[in-house]
A and B are shown apart, each in its own frame.
Chain A
């Protein structure tokens, strides 16, 4: 397999890159679990990785802050980034490359030619579309053209981060560059979207591993997001959910409720409308290292309708409300009476009765009609 293969098994055996075999296996197991796959698949991951089946991975950077790359690299457990770099053959990555300029371009071309139809294309950052896409150019080429070129021959396309998934922060109003995500440009291709700002690195790991080992992409929802990570909302599995159900809310930062760890819905938490896995998969491999965990409401970074659109502390509608810890009484109070109507009815009734009485008095005052002509009924016998 060549030097890359030797590098891995050597590393696995000797632990020189800080990854021993046990750690390696553990991470593969975690990744399989995150994908919702059985432990046997983890073994396959280990096997595949140790046999050096490393697909080519081409990583494109466009209108991005490089946060998605950084989140991979800055994980507190260094093995993840190592692992990704060891699992795949990273054939083009502008941040991590030592090479630059014509050398980098050549590497990209070579990777595309050598691995035609098989390489994974990861896109980080939004793609400007206005004015022919001049607002982001690499090697003199607009990002949109580069994306179309590289994606044309890719075996799998993954848009990592909200920017690449739907436009992210560059697409916030007024969106002067016409920034948009990769799926909106590559409309005739399947693009796996991993929105988030940044997304949890385990999601990318899981997706890449599945492609590596099983040759398939994970099941996707209607926005192209893997269901294993984006199938549920934050609210569905939030550790503070019982507070929501019991009606315990933090009303202000630092108040008693906030101190008690109450639900942050009233502070503008977008959890109920945000599909992501952050509630169960925290960041930096540290338990509790995620926004709600540290006391700030979720701002919906994966959702185009919410992130960089709806103010951080503005409350949203709940998509699927569920029964709370309150019950109706045996005899509920069904309010039925309008005081206005009662008044109107009283007035009307009173008026009619009075009118009737007055009419009767008028009748009584007129002279008796027995003298009126033409009456003949008094002559008839009963």
Chain B
């Protein structure tokens, strides 16, 4: 069918990698300070704005960016488009890393992370009203599922080691995995459907504190569609970026053919959003809140732009345009979710929020960690489809 995935190889500690390491080191220091001094001194969070960028970006946006695995799995395993298969492994890896980093962000954001273990175990205390409980349980399980889905790459590599016992164990596990993988994949399709939509349901509980242009019973559906949009955007972005960075052949044609699906999803979102606003008569709200009206327009424009770009045949085969479309899709979804969780959230007069520099450093550091982990894994294990490994002295990371 297609050529094998292979580890890229090459040095890990390149200059860009070391820069990322430095960023993460600084962030680690800030995280230590956060645990020593409390969340207040480190962040701009307050009783009016208890959720800031660590939730709005790291968790809500971050997991959606990590929905590449979900989006591609839908295509490959449900709609049976086998040609996109090479995109699966890197997408799943990005998903696994993205969700893990989101989990780390939660451990930093939450006041008592040492109580996390109670959530999945104390079943008798579960509050079934809470959308957050469902999100937490799904994300915890999904992280496990994602790493199981990544593991075949690991065991495949282990089948090449010189040590015989390791080879044997690896091949046994590979066979077992192969049998159950169908149900793991199905779980990996069910769980994001559940929790990505419930991330939207979370904001329904805030009632009038969320601006009427964003507050809607359709929040779960809009969050679900936007996560698929962002997933595809992330796949395009990451694929083209990896090819450039690791000096490997690009998959422009394959990505270009994804365009039809992407356009459909983009218009699905736009349609749902516009219908919802009309149905609820929310357009009336714009004259009274000009800033929010502008924000809404920017959101809609950012969903429309890549759709229009990808409609044109020449644009969708040009990697530059594809990349920009991918970026726009990620940014559009990110902006929508940021607005829904943070920007359009107004607890009342007198409260304001903007992340502090240390707060932003932590987010940046965790993103750097994710990128570093991606680099290490992709160079060590067969994730990316390849022809030949990159040269050891390659300048790019």
Contacts and interface: CB of A to CB of B under 8 A. Distances in A.
Contact between A and B in the complex (any CB pair below 8 Å): yes
Contacts of B83: 377, 380, 382
B252 to A, nearest CB: 6
B165 to A, nearest CB: 34
A382 B256 CA distance: 13
Nearest to A370: B253
B213 to A, nearest CB: 22
Contacts of B257: 382
A374 B86 contact: no
Contacts, number: 106
B354 A345 contact: yes
Contacts of A380: 1, 82-83
A378 interface: yes
B360 interface: yes
Nearest to B245: A359
B3 interface: yes
Contacts of B190: none
Contact of A336 (B244, B321, B354): B354
Contact of B357 (A336, A340, A378): A340
A76 B167 CA distance: 108
A22 interface: no
B319 A364 contact: yes
A98 interface: no
A363 B323 contact: yes
B111 to A, nearest CB: 19
A338 B359 CA distance: 12
A174 interface: no
A373 B249 CA distance: 8
B3 A376 contact: yes
B356 A366 contact: no
A369 B252 contact: yes
B81 interface: yes
Nearest to B237: A356
A357 interface: yes
A333 interface: yes
Interface in A341-382: 341-342, 344-345, 348, 356-357, 359-366, 368-370, 372-378, 380, 382
Nearest to B250: A369
Contacts of A320: none
B241 interface: yes
A342 B327 CA distance: 23
A332 interface: yes
A342 B354 contact: yes
Nearest to B249: A372
Contact of B348 (A331, A336, A340): A331
B240 interface: yes
Contacts of A356: 323, 327
Interface in A84-130: none
Contacts of B2: 376-377
A335 B44 CA distance: 10
Contacts of B348: 331
Interface in B308-361: 317-321, 323-324, 327, 348-357, 359-360
Contacts of B324: 357, 360
A240 B252 CA distance: 83
A342 B352 CA distance: 13
Given A338-B354, A359-B241, A374 B387 contact: yes
A359 B355 contact: no
B81 A331 contact: no
B320 A361 contact: yes
Contacts of B327: 356, 360
Closest 7 CB pairs of A and B: A364-B320, A336-B352, A331-B349, A372-B249, A360-B323, A337-B354, A363-B319
Given A360-B320, A360-B323, A380-B1, 14 more contacts: A331-B350, A332-B350, A334-B351, A336-B48, A336-B353, A338-B354, A357-B324, A364-B319, A369-B249, A370-B252, A370-B253, A374-B249, A376-B2, A377-B2
